[in-house]
Structure 1
Amino acid sequence: MFSSKKDPHSVKLAKLATLVAHNVHISGDLEFSEGLRMDGQVTGNVAGRPGEETLLVVSDQGAIRGNVSAYDVIINGCVTGDVTVGHFVELQSNARVLGNIYYQQLRMDIGATVEGKLTKIDSQSAHVPSLPAPPEYGVDYVTN
């Protein structure tokens, strides 16, 4: 999953400097630098600091109800909103995305689901579409 070499086809090694634990629920937008592991829940947009090679990991316990943007993203939980990835996105087997995914490189494991469009971003122009407010899908993203 992680690579310390300069492989353009994988997630770059980043320090996961921040953890949102499984019993934490944040309401509001969240901006991070370096790396963020999401085991808890966020209702709001989650974004890596622009211009940095950030890494967001959403574990199988994690859930985000809002738009997501980062350099590299690994999802094994639930995201209800659009996901914009500057470099590489990995959807692991428990991933559930209810929204569109904009990416340069994509890896999707068996069992992952996406209810939205997959759109490859041109790496030369680095054009990333602006994201609207998170969609209302009427689906409860938290299962206990």
Structure 2
Amino acid sequence: MFGRKKEPSIDTSTLSSLIASNVEIVGNLSFMDGLHIDGHVRGDVLGKPGSRSLLVLSDRGSITGNVRSHDAVINGVIVGDLEVEHFVELQANARVTGSITYRSLRMDAGASVDGKLSKLGDADGSNVVELPAGNLATA
């Protein structure tokens, strides 16, 4: 009756690819299923449209480029726009410089965003949060 609200969850069993911490990739990546990044990517990281792609960016990883995925768990640095169709979790070490488009968002204490937050499905723009340039939103 007065149960706790169920938290959205992400199925991490689909992680099938790893970019290790000693790897730097220059160029765009396209992936399906799951991708775990501990290294550094300079280029766009894009889940295949229509797939239930999952991106996990560890606290050691970084992406300089735009990111698109079905689900995402971010604990590293993204310099670029982040578009997540379903659920995005910004963990404590997440640093995003760019706009985030999402359907469901969880932001842990310590995470920061320097950009615009837009909830998918809000055609009237009523849930768009515009952050002034140079200011950080920190949970």
- Same fold, judged at TM 0.5 (above): yes
Aligned equivalents of 2:7, 2:31: Cα separation in 1: 23
2:55 equivalent in structure 1: 56
Q: Structure 1 stretches of 5 or more lacking a match?
A: 1-6, 126-136, 138-144
Conserved 8 A contact 1:78-1:96: yes
Q: Structure 2 stretches of 5 or more lacking a match?
A: 1-5, 124-133, 135-139
1:80 equivalent in structure 2: 79
1:40 equivalent in structure 2: 39
AA matched with 1:15: T
Q: What value does the CA root-mean-square deviation take over the aligned residues?
A: 1.9
Q: Offset at 1:13?
A: 4.4
Aligned equivalents of 1:92, 1:50: Cα separation in 2: 25
2:8 equivalent in structure 1: 9
Aligned equivalents of 2:61, 2:77: Cα separation in 1: 7
CA 1:69–1:23 in 2, change beyond 3 Å: closer, same or farther? same
Q: Offset at 1:12?
A: 3.6
Using structure 2 for the length normalisation, give the TM-score: 0.81
Q: In terms of Rg, which structure is larger?
A: 2
1:104 paired with 2:103, answer yes
CA 1:8–1:31 in 2, change beyond 3 Å: closer, same or farther? farther
Aligned equivalents of 1:110, 1:62: Cα separation in 2: 19
SS of residue paired to 1:119: strand
1:113 paired with 2:124, answer no
Conserved 8 A contact 1:14-1:34: no
Conserved 8 A contact 2:37-2:56: yes
Identity %: 51
AA matched with 2:43: G
Aligned equivalents of 1:115, 1:95: Cα separation in 2: 11
Q: How many residues align?
A: 119
Conserved 8 A contact 2:73-2:88: yes
1:23 equivalent in structure 2: 22
